[in-house]
Amino acid sequence: MSADRLCVEHVGFEYRSSPHGPGPPIRSPAADFSWDGGVSVLQAVLNGSRPADAHPALPVLARHLARDAREVAELGITSVHVHPRGPDTQETLDPLYVGDTVAAIRAQVPGMEIGVATGRWIQPDPRKRIEAVLAWGHLGVGKPDVCSVNVHEKGWVEVCNAARSVGIGVELGVWTSGDAVTLRTTGLPAGTVRVLAESTVSDPETAVAEGVRILRALGSLPVPVLLHGEEAGAWNVLEYAMQRSLDTRIGFEDVLVTPKGWLATGNDHLVKLALATRV
Ligand SMILES: [Zn+2]
């Protein structure tokens, strides 16, 4: 399923505008390499790997993820990324729980693009990751639209191939410029819907620079690039991405606090602040 892209007119902001008034076109080092499809996606990342007690409003159960997905959909979000959990609140690739989570979200927001994680930390054995992804293909309404696959993980190409074989798109996670080189060397697997340029540097002063390094190393790609940071680097990287009309993301997976350092009240709060960034 291809989700509608978040349309800037619907949410009243314009990525390309500047709070300082119109100026010359942005010519950053990254701009030459960025995807320029016109309309940018703001994805909501609802929980990530955070422990259940990381925040009182962190969605862990399927129904809570579905509630948050509906709330961000009402703000114009068309793509969510979640880490499904088992009854013990731990992350899982088990088709039973992945299917329950995706189906619960789909019931609340049928048009939403729903993505899930496949990280090595959830299932270290690549063969078991592949088995899980293949099983997701039979989940019907519980089948994810896309799954994220990290380029630095052993077996990543095979996991991508498994996803493609069952009609699940792939978001390729690129954490470093070295990963970007790996991707360029290997080539983009068929079925890739976007590349995630993930600045994992949490120092706000260097998080953007790290993101730019990854973008440069990725070079020109035939699919959109979604650039994001995390923790103290999240807001700086989001602002940078929005200024350059790159896709980006926000939510409790990446950050628990507002740009001013206050604890956010929920995923919808973070999304509202992200959308307000470029007003
Ligand atoms: Zn994730």
pLDDT of 258 reads 98
**How many whole angstroms from 169 Cα to the centroid of ligand 1?**
15
Domains of the chain by residue range: 40-276
Q: How far away, in angstroms, is 45 Cα from ligand 1 center? A: 7
As a dihedral over the C-alpha atoms of residue 155, residue 160, residue 163, residue 168, rounded to 10 degrees, the angle is 150
Residue bearing the bigger pLDDT, 1 or 8: 1
Please report, rounded to a whole number, the percentage of residues in the chain having pLDDT higher than 90.
Answer: 83
Residues near ion ligand 1 (CB < 5 Å) are 48, 117
Q: How confident is the model at residue 202 (pLDDT cuts 50, 70, 90)?
A: confident
**CATH superfamily membership of 40-276:** Aldolase class I (3.20.20.70)
Confidence of residue 4 (pLDDT cuts 50, 70, 90): very low
**Average pLDDT of the residues in 194-203:** 95
Distances (CA, A) of 185 to 72, 121, 151: 37, 25, 12
Distance 138 CA to ligand 1 centre (A): 22
| pLDDT at res. 128 | 97
pLDDT at 37 over 80: no
Which range scores top for mean pLDDT: 26-30, 38-42, 118-122?
A: 118-122
Ligand 1 centroid distance, CA of 171 (Å)? 10
Supply the pLDDT for residue 277.
87
Q: What is the DSSP string of 124-166?
A: --HHHHHHHHHHHTT-GGGS-SEEEEETTSTTHHHHHHHHHHT
pTM of full prediction above 0.75: yes
pLDDT at 39 (0 to 100): 73
